[in-house]
Amino acid sequence: MCVRRSSKGGWGKAALPPAKQPLLPGGEGGGEGLQTLGEASPPHPALRATLSPWERADSVSVDAQVSGTTPARSGLSPCQTQMRIEFGGEPVVLDACGALYLERRGILAVADLHLEKGSFFAARGNPVPRYDTRDTLERLEAAIVCYRPETVICLGDSFHDCAAGERISPPDALRLEELMGQASRWIWLTGNHDPEIPRRFRGEAALLHQAGAVHFAHFPETPVRPLIAGHYHPKLSLRLADRHVSGRCFLFSQELLLMPAFGAYAGGLDTRDTALTPLFPAGARQHVLSYRGKLWAIDRG
């Protein structure tokens, strides 16, 4: 049985450091639907006001810092903004597109694709555009072209419901199969939306995967650490001066890293939601916001 999760919104205040790269192509932004956060423009003065230590020292904004990341296909330029962190003893690159790359393992991870969410709602009379799968696969392709991973791990809720594999259009199904052919290994971690992966798509299905010391699973409550997980679709919203800032967010401590949802229609849960409180020790959370195709380290005090 597939179970859906509700989400809540909220607001907060923080200081934002600017990053340095241009916009990613499409698909950026939090909230429901194919929302974008506007066109490139000079940062608001409030956004320039405070630089975090990451911005000064660790913010990675060039392709060269990730080996083998030369975009190989014209028209795709996913290597816009990346941030390097260490998690579980592994160098990890966070990407503004919402993906994560474990450099030493050649693992590209994405969470909560929710493929065919649009057709799921359309079938129930909700007149939403049905191009979310195409959009999500285009961005996933861009990330794969960028990182050339040995392994792709989809962290669960890859398919919005158990019948998604029957609704996906032939072109989108073919595109997904082609993407899967670009990695030596493709792992579907099962989630609450997709306890069973459509049989038409190859790859390995599992509840948990381990690479070195780092574990991957859909549910953050999985009792292993260090763990990279999805499920909650963290989203950060705040207001600075006259500007509303909102976007998907990497949320992590030393032991747990929650990935933002990658799916176009996935929506988000505010990082201050009480559902997230038990997952992190007090004061131990780091926020990295994806906003306007760039990553921003947020100090929420």
CB of 38 to Fe ion, least distance (A): 25
Q: DSSP string covering 8-30, please?
A: -------B---------SS----
Q: Which is nearer to Fe ion, 79 or 140 (CB)?
A: 140
Residue 196's CB: how many other CB atoms inside 10 A?
A: 12
DSSP class of residue 56 equals I
CB of 231 to Fe ion, least distance (A): 6
Q: Which is nearer to Fe ion, 157 or 270 (CB)?
A: 157
CB of 263 to Fe ion, least distance (A): 8
Nearest Cα to Cα of residue 133 among 162, 165, 108:
165
Report whether 89 contacts 212 (CB < 8 A): yes
Give the binding range for Fe ion (CB under 5 A) out of 36-44, 111-119, 200-208, 272-280: 111-119
Distance of CA 95 to the CA centre of its chain: 8
Q: Which residues have a Cβ under 8 Å from the Cβ of 41 and sit 6 or more positions away?
A: none
User: What Å distances lie between residue 110 and 186, 216, 272, CA to CA?
Assistant: 11, 11, 22
How many residues belong to the site for Fe ion (CB under 5 A)? 2
Q: Does 194 bind Fe ion (CB under 5 A)?
A: no
CB of 290 to Fe ion, least distance (A): 17
Token readout for 236 is 């950060």
Q: Which is nearer to Fe ion, 18 or 234 (CB)?
A: 234
- The radius of gyration of the chain from alpha carbons, rounded to an integer in Å, stands at 18
Report whether 209 contacts 153 (CB < 8 A): yes
Q: Which is nearer to Fe ion, 235 or 294 (CB)?
A: 235
Q: Kindly tell me which residue out of 112, 141, 194, 270 binds Fe ion, with binding defined by CB under 5 A.
A: 112
CB of 6 to Fe ion, least distance (A): 11
Q: Which is nearer to Fe ion, 105 or 160 (CB)?
A: 160
Euclidean distance between the first and final Cα of the chain, in Å? 40
Taking CB positions, which residue lies at the least distance from Fe ion?
Answer: 157
Q: Which is nearer to Fe ion, 90 or 112 (CB)?
A: 112
Largest interatomic CA distance in the chain:
51
CB of 124 to Fe ion, least distance (A): 18
Give the binding range for Fe ion (CB under 5 A) out of 75-83, 110-118, 168-176, 221-229: 110-118
- Residue list 121-160, contact with Fe ion (CB under 5 A): 157
Q: Which is nearer to Fe ion, 49 or 205 (CB)?
A: 205
Give the binding range for Fe ion (CB under 5 A) out of 105-113, 116-124, 125-133, 269-277: 105-113
CB of 157 to Fe ion, least distance (A): 3
What proportions of the chain, in percent to the nearest 5, are helix, strand and coil?
20, 30, 55
Residue 124's CB: how many other CB atoms inside 10 A?
A: 8
Q: Which residues contribute to the site for Fe ion (CB under 5 A)?
A: 112, 157
